[in-house]
Amino acid sequence: MKSRLMVAAVGVPVVLVVLTFLPPWGTAVLSALIAACAARELTAVAETGPACTALCVASALFVNLSVFLYICGILTFKPAVFVLSGVSILFLLILLFMWVLYHERSVQFAGREMFAALMSGTVVPLCFSGLCVLRGGDNGVFRVLLPFVIAFTGDGGALFSGMLFGKHPLAPKTSPKKTREGALGGLICSCVCSLILALLMRLGFSIDVNYPLIICWGILGGAVSQLGDLTFSLIKREYGKKDYGTVLPGHGGVLDRFDSMVTLAPVIVCAFLLAPPF
C-alpha cells in the first residue's frame, strides 16, 4: 500500500501537468507512450516474441500519431482516415505474414498470441487516442480530465470501500479481491468527484454545466471503468499472469494502472458527441 500511494503521489501531479498545462501535443505524447507501454506489456504476457512486440508497439505509436495530426489540424479528415487505415491494414498484413511464417517454422503463435497482438496493435491504441480527441475539443482541458477523474477516484474509492466494508465478492474468478461493496463505493466516488470537477468549472471558469448529465456520465463512466479493469484482469489471468509488469510499484505495469481507460476514453468521447455535459 505504501509503494502504491508513493507512486500515486508522484504520478498524479505529473499527469495533471501534462493534461492541463501543456498544449494538446502533451496529451498526444502521453497517450502514445501509454499505448506503446500497454502494447509491450500485453504482448509480453502472451509471449508473442520480440518481433511481434516491436510491430505492435510501432503500430500503437503510429495510430496515436495519425489521430494527433488530425486533432492539431495538420491533416484533414480524409488524409487522417487514409493514414489511420493504412497503418492498420499494413499492421494486419504483416501480422498475418508473421502468423504463416511462424507456423511454417513450428513457432508457437496461435489464437491466444494473435488476440494479444490485435488488441495491443489496434484496439488499445485506438481507445487511448480518444484522449487526444477530448483534449483537442472545446474546453479540452476539462474534457480530458473527466475520464481521469472518473477512473482514478473510482479506483481509489473501490479500494478503500472494499477494505472497510467489503464482504461479498464481485467476480472471484476474475479478480478475487474485488467486492460488491467496493464496486458501489467506486461508483459513488466517480459520480461525486465528477460533480466536484463540474462545480470547479462553473465557479472558477464560468463554464455552463449540465449537472444531471454529469451525474449520469459519472455513474456510467464509473461502471465502464470497472468493466475495463475486470476485462484486463481476466486477460492476464487467461495468460497465467498476476500483473502486466513491475514498472509501477504497488500497481504492477502501465496497463494495470490504465486498463480502465481503454473502455472509458471512447465512452467519454461518445458522451460529448451525443449528450455533452459541458
First to last CA, the chain: 36
Least confident among 100-109, 160-169, 214-223: 100-109
Q: Is 252 helix (H, G, I), strand (E, B) or coil?
A: strand
**How much of the chain exceeds pLDDT 70, in percent?**
100
Query: How does residue 263 score in pLDDT terms, banded at 50, 70 and 90?
Result: very high
What are the boundaries of each domain within the chain? Answer: 24-136, 139-278
Which residues fall within 8 angstroms of residue 14, CB to CB, at 6 or more apart? none
Write out the DSSP string of 166-202.
--SEEETTTEEEEEHHHHHHHHHHHHHHHHHHHHHHH
Q: How confident is the model at residue 8 (pLDDT cuts 50, 70, 90)?
A: confident
Alpha-carbon radius of gyration of the chain: 19
Per-residue pLDDT of 171-212, as tens digits, reads: 999 999 999 999 999 999 999 999 999 999 999 999 999 999
